[in-house]
Amino acid sequence: MSSWQARVFSRAIRALVRREDWGAEAALVARARRVLGAPRAYGYLATVGLSRRSVRTRAVRGEWLVPRRPRRGVVLYVHGGGFVSCSAATHRPITAALARLARRPVFGADYRLAPEARLPTAHEDVADTYRYLLDAGIPASEIALVGDSAGGNLVLSLAVQLRDRGEPAPACVVAFSPWTDLRGRSSSMGGDDDRCAMFHPGNRHDFAAAALGRGDPDSALVSPVHAALHDLPPVLLHVGSTELLLDDATRVHDAIRRSGGACTLHVFDDVPHGWQMLHPWMPEATTSLRETVSFIDAALARARSAGDGVCGEWTVGGIARRSASRFFLSWRRRRRTTCPGPTSVAASARVGRHRLRPRADAMASSVATHLMFTGDASAALELYAAVFPDFRVERMERYGAGDVGAPGTVRRADAVFGQHRFVAIDSPVKHAFSFTPSMSIFVDCDSAATLDAAFARLAEGGHVLMAIADYGFSQRFGWCTDRFGVSWQLNLP
């Protein structure tokens, strides 16, 4: 039996939202954008205590919500709204709750809405957002996809697209009341006509027509229930027992299980569509979100233990990554930050009163390719060239008009130094966390002289990022990053 809170909210939603006829397309879209999603003030209050940063590029739009002391892993959240309404901002009650409960950064993705941009435009935008996270240096095994309603459609479809294209799959997929059949053949369409608190069966056809235009509702891309659902990441489905979308979820669950995949379905008794938005006021909303977090925790742990070639701890923006044998530290005057990316270095240097001494065989374990993330790739290349005479840039990409970086500045650079290859990336994630755009990179120092040059640069006002290749020092102390308070363990003699 549902809680009294669920019954009260269902009655309120039935009175305020449910209509048998939403009108013609223009009227339907206008009303959907007016009544669906959380009010602006409520969404703003939901983010109190979280760091919030917007991302706006030609290909990607959305916002980061980051808790204090974030853990490994990232949640990519895709909002619902019938493909015609809502945004990352209207779904902050869910994304903020996930950020707090999971203690992980959550990226709320925006996508172009119909009827201005018909499907499958939204699917293309979500795929671009996923690649944005990968390009920012986040391994696929550290990403959890979550979406509700139309967003559940989008995350399931994305998982299928990634499998078909041979691209890296996320750690897991979570879909709240996913709308997976735009044709509307679900058996729950008729059985729950009077019980669904938010929609009449005919509303689905009207929303689908607005989203598709003349598109094919039976396409596997826009209706993932018709796709081949084998070889997907673990999937969690939550749906209400009285929702029109009940059968959409159960059909996907059955198809995944028949194909030998891992899928968990939880049917909540008599809750309104999108009930997760009502956390913490409805017990079922809190239960759903906590189950989601537990599922994500387990999926991320399995993905890491499976060994995808990435060891250690990855982060987004100022969330530190720690590797078993090498990690980054960034020194700035009056402020300390961290930045993700693998490298190696054998060096000895003094930081304040501490002297860092890696083992003599540290360079023996170094890798031939290094991936660096910096706030200013141009400054990083300049510093490299000044210190290493045989450092050579092979290819360079620059930002264009409308990109997240300043037009003309370096976006990515491929370079060589002896037997080592480097890929320097001006990470757009820095904008989401107020990283200084003047922070530059200095890595793979193999002598005290090169480190002296780095600290001379630091003394002149530059910002130097150094990697220490050895993790075998005898003593440890905590090193805290600037605004996020992430605790580090730095080994010292």
CATH of the domain at 144: 3.40.50.1820
The pLDDT tens digits for 232-260 are 999 999 999 999 999 999 999 999 999 99
Q: Is residue 364 part of a domain?
A: yes
Overall number of domains in the chain:
2
Cα 382 to chain centroid, rounded: 32
Task: Indicate the residue among 254, 273, 306 that finishes a domain.
Answer: 306
Q: Is residue 206 part of a domain?
A: yes
Pick the catalytic residue from 200, 238, 253, 273. Answer: 273
**What whole-number distance in Å separates Cα of residue 219 and Cα of residue 181?**
9
Distances (CA, A) of 4 to 7, 10, 279, 286, 478: 5, 10, 14, 14, 47
Task: Indicate the residue among 306, 338, 358 that finishes a domain.
Answer: 306
Looking at the fold, whether 61 and 127 belong to one and the same domain comes out as yes
Q: Is residue 338 part of a domain?
A: yes
| Residues ≥6 apart with Cβ < 8 Å to 258 | none
SS3 40: helix
Please, which pLDDT band fits residue 400 given cuts at 50, 70 and 90?
A: confident
323 is catalytic: no
Confidence check: pLDDT of 82 > 70: yes
Mean confidence (pLDDT) of the chain? 74
Looking at the fold, whether 422 and 471 belong to one and the same domain comes out as yes
Residue found by looking up tokens 């269902």 in the block: 10
The pLDDT tens digits for 445-483 are 333 344 444 444 434 443 333 332 222 222 222 222 222
| Cβ atoms of 125 and 62 closer than 8 Å | no
Looking at the fold, whether 381 and 241 belong to one and the same domain comes out as no
149 is catalytic: yes
**What whole-number distance in Å separates Cα of residue 247 and Cα of residue 94?**
23
| Cβ atoms of 175 and 235 closer than 8 Å | yes
Looking at the fold, whether 291 and 331 belong to one and the same domain comes out as no
Looking at the fold, whether 449 and 482 belong to one and the same domain comes out as yes
**pLDDT given at position 397:** 78
Looking at the fold, whether 215 and 95 belong to one and the same domain comes out as yes
Q: Is residue 430 part of a domain?
A: yes
| Amino acid occupying residue 9 | F
The pLDDT tens digits for 19-52 are 999 999 999 999 999 999 999 999 999 999 999 9
Looking at the fold, whether 334 and 269 belong to one and the same domain comes out as no
Q: Is residue 321 part of a domain?
A: no
Q: Tell which residue, 302, 184, 177, 323, has the closest CA to residue 242.
A: 177
Pick the catalytic residue from 243, 279, 313, 463. Answer: 243
Q: Is residue 107 part of a domain?
A: yes
Q: Range of 142's domain?
A: 4-306
| Residues ≥6 apart with Cβ < 8 Å to 456 | none
CB atoms within 10 A of CB 297: 17
Looking at the fold, whether 283 and 367 belong to one and the same domain comes out as no
Q: Is residue 344 part of a domain?
A: yes
Looking at the fold, whether 167 and 21 belong to one and the same domain comes out as yes
273 is catalytic: yes
Q: Tell which residue, 126, 101, 100, 97, has the closest CA to residue 111.
A: 126
Looking at the fold, whether 288 and 432 belong to one and the same domain comes out as no
| Amino acid occupying residue 368 | A
Looking at the fold, whether 123 and 15 belong to one and the same domain comes out as yes
CATH of the domain at 455: 3.30.720.100
Q: Is residue 151 part of a domain?
A: yes
Looking at the fold, whether 47 and 185 belong to one and the same domain comes out as yes
